[in-house]
């Protein structure tokens, strides 16, 4: 671990700013940050591009949008009253329910008065002399703050591929992450869905029930498991709530920040085939992705072990999908199971048994052009009334790189991250003092229960701000050495797993030209948290603090 820790004094009094903190984004991360900063008596302003709070859950209104972590776990833990009182109607929250919950939190904790909606942060510049940030928005605001906290999300920059001819299309087109608030009725329409990640897989069964005909363009077959969604079992809810604080605490000591699953104890290869398949079958029936990955210790680290689970899933697909050729096309075959985000479905594979659904192999015959009437692949022309792009996001780094984020010392985030993102603990970027990132690259957030990661990051940052205030620190930054060592650690951990084998958004593979770097920390949430706690306990090891000589 890095050991650079410096505490120096500089001349001059602490410069006045409009706010102590500017927060970029009012999703789950921005809201909790605002709440915590209030508790510290700090002034803060959150800017949010959407016309409502909620981030991901505000934008992703496509049919079937649902969380893949169970509601009783995918919810804030910071208020026991909140978690006791809130009732989740289903095992997994759907988008409207989660958005309702987030709005309830905004009201309950009186957060809205410090949030400016319909406002996108366009620039954030750190002044190297005054140690303050100046933030500009597309609504003409220019404000100063001591600190800037990026709560701008990992999947908040929707990407429509650069297809030729898109402007010529005479029908309507949509992106999953920019869905119209009033919904879309596909009844009687000829529809194309492009993309079979979580968004495509969730919407396809629903659109298939409405459309006259649905063509699905699949480039990569994914590993998809049954969600096992169901109305919330009242007994399960009351048992969970009776034990909530202990369950939340237990989740802190797990690799994914999700409790309730006994950790695996055996290698998949130490178990006879029949027993192994029985174990996978039980997990398949139970539903859920983390539980499935927990069947054996080595599913994400040993190719041979992984193959046993992958074969089980492929056989399931062949058992559900009646047309043998379609079934084969739906069988993932180019990456180990779990190395792309595992998708949870409700009736996805069954949808291909409908007469009005056709699967197109967009790997063999790529989409070449959008035409006025529909689209053209390498070997055919199609006519559509609507095209849905479920083509994903410029993940993890997209939102920050869209901002003119720089320092007067001459650094820009775009240059700094040209060869891939670099952070210390996923929380700070060397050269960008007084800036924190929530769920940034190099943190385990997208590989963990996101809301648990958000609370952990925020608590760490807010505790740090309190420390800095008590010490009269005006400038706080990660050292280059600490950042280099963290980046190396993130890479070493990733290389000890099967994750880098997949062309996923974890490595930026879905964006042409994006540097191929494994961005999340996959050493486990609990290990990451222990490292963060240790860094703080050692007086923010790996960071430099500059104190004012006079703060009176």
Q: Rule CB under 6 A: which residues touch ligand NA7? A: 155, 161, 176, 194-200, 217, 219-220, 341, 362, 367, 390-392, 505, 510
CA dist 245 and 259 (Å) reads: 11
Q: Is 101 exposed, middle or buried (0-12, 13-18, 19+ CB in 10 A)?
A: buried
- CA 128, distance to chain mean position in Å, is 32
Q: Which is nearer to ligand NA7, 33 or 199 (CB)?
A: 199
| Nearer Cβ to ligand NA7 (279/390) | 390
Q: What is the largest CA-CA distance in the chain?
A: 77
Q: Which is nearer to ligand NA7, 65 or 413 (CB)?
A: 65
CB of 501 to ligand NA7, least distance (A): 14
Q: From CA 407, how far away is CA 209, in angstroms rounded?
A: 52
State the Cα–Cα distance between residues 104 and 368, nearest whole angstrom. Answer: 45
Distance CA 158, CA 105 (A): 26
Distance of closest approach, residue 30 Cβ to ligand NA7, in angstroms: 19
DSSP codes joined into one string, 438-457: SS-TTSSGGGS-HHHHHHHH
Number of neighbours of residue 55 by Cβ within 10 angstroms:
27
Phi, psi of 412 (to 5 degrees): -125, 150
Measured from the CB of residue 256, what is the shortest distance to ligand NA7 in angstroms? Answer: 13
Closest approach, Cβ 161 to ligand NA7, in A, equals 4
Q: Which is nearer to ligand NA7, 397 or 407 (CB)?
A: 397
Minimum Å gap between C-beta 159 and ligand NA7 is: 8
The smaller minimum CB distance to ligand NA7, of residues 164 and 322, is found at 164
Nearest Cα neighbor of 542 from 442, 402, 449 is 442
- Give the shortest CB-215-to-ligand NA7 separation in angstroms: 12
- Say if residues 224 and 234 touch (Cβ distance below 8 Å): no
- Give the strand pairing for 142-150 and 213-218: unpaired
User: In the bound complex, what is the minimum distance in angstroms from residue 35's beta carbon to ligand NA7?
Assistant: 25
Would you give the DSSP letter of residue 352? Answer: T
- For residues 390 and 403, which CB has a smaller minimum distance to ligand NA7 in the complex? 390
Which residue, 201 or 465, is less far from ligand NA7 as judged by CB? Answer: 201
CA distance 517 to 524: 18
Residue closer to ligand NA7 by CB (options 27, 431) is 27
- Extract the tokens encoding 336: 């180990």
Position with the least CB separation from ligand NA7: 197
CB closer to ligand NA7, 90 vs 459: 90
Least distance in angstroms from the C-beta of 211 to ligand NA7:
19
CA–CA separation, 85 and 133 (whole Å): 39
Nearest distance, CB of residue 281 and ligand NA7, angstroms? 25
Closest CB 218 distance from ligand NA7, rounded Å: 7
Closer CB to ligand NA7, residue 421 or residue 542? 421
DSSP string, 27-69: SHHHHHHHHHHHHTT--EEEE-SSSSS-THHHH---TT-B-SS
Least Å from the CB of residue 345 to ligand NA7: 12
C-beta of 95 vs 308, nearer to ligand NA7: 95
Q: 73-78 long-range contacts, Cβ below 8 Å, gap at least 24?
A: 73/251, 73/258, 73/259, 73/260, 73/449, 73/452, 74/98, 74/449, 74/450, 74/451, 75/101, 75/451, 76/28, 76/32, 76/105, 76/451, 76/455, 77/248, 77/452, 77/455, 78/32, 78/35, 78/455
């Amino acid at each position: 671990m890095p050991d650079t820790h410096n505490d120096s004094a500089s001349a001059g009094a602490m410069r006045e700013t409009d706010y102590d903190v500017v927060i970029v984004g009012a999703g789950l991360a921005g809201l909790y940050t605002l709440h915590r900063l209030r508790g510290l008596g700090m002034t803060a302003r959150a800017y949010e591009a959407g016309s409502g709070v909620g981030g991901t859950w505000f934008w992703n209104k496509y049919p079937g949008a649902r969380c893949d972590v169970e509601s009783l776990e995918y919810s804030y833990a910071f208020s026991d009253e909140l978690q006791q009182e809130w009732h989740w109607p289903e095992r997994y929250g759907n988008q409207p329910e989660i958005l309702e919950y987030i709005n309830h939190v905004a009201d309950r904790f009186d957060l809205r008065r410090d949030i400016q909606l319909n406002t996108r942060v366009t620039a954030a510049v750190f002044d190297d002399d005054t140690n303050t940030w100046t933030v500009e928005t597309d609504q003409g605001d220019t404000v100063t703050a001591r600190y800037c906290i990026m709560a701008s999300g990992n999947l908040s920059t929707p990407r429509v591929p650069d297809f030729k001819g898109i402007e010529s299309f005479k029908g309507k087109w949509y992106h999953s992450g920019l869905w119209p608030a009033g919904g879309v009725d596909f009844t009687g329409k000829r529809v194309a869905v492009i993309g079979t990640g979580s968004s495509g897989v969730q919407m396809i069964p629903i659109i298939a029930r409405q459309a006259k005909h649905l063509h699905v363009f699949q480039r990569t077959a994914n590993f998809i498991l049954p969600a096992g969604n169901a109305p919330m079992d009242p007994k399960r809810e009351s048992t969970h709530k009776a034990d909530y604080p202990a369950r939340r605490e237990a989740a802190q000591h797990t690799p994914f920040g999700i409790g309730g699953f006994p950790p695996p104890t055996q290698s998949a290869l130490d178990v006879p085939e029949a027993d192994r398949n029985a174990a996978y079958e039980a997990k398949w029936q139970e539903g859920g992705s983390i539980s499935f990955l927990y069947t054996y210790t080595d599913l994400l680290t040993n190719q041979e072990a992984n193959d046993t689970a992958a074969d089980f899933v492929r056989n399931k697909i062949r058992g559900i999908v009646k047309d043998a050729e379609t079934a084969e096309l739906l069988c993932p075959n180019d990456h180990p199971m779990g190395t792309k985000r595992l998708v949870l479905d409700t009736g996805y594979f069954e949808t291909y048994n409908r007469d009005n659904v056709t699967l197109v192999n967009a790997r063999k015959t790529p989409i070449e052009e959008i035409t006025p009437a529909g689209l053209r692949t390498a070997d055919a022309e199609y006519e559509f009334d609507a095209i849905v792009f479920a083509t994903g996001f410029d993940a993890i780094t997209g939102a920050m790189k869209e901002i003119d984020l720089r320092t007067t010392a001459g650094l820009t985030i775009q240059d700094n991250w040209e060869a891939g993102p670099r952070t210390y603990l996923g929380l700070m970027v060397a050269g960008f003092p007084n800036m924190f990132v929530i769920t940034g690259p190099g943190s385990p957030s997208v590989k963990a229960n996101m809301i648990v990661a958000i609370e952990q990051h925020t608590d760490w940052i807010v505790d740090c701000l309190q420390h800095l205030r008590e010490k009269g620190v005006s400038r706080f930054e990660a050292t280059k050495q600490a950042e280099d060592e963290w980046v190396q650690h993130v890479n070493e951990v990733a290389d000890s797993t099967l994750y880098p084998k997949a062309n996923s958004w974890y490595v930026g593979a879905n964006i042409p030209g994006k540097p191929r770097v494994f961005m999340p920390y996959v050493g486990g949430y609990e290990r990451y948290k222990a490292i963060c706690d240790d860094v703080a306990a050692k007086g923010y090891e790996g960071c430099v603090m500059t104190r004012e000589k006079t703060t009176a």
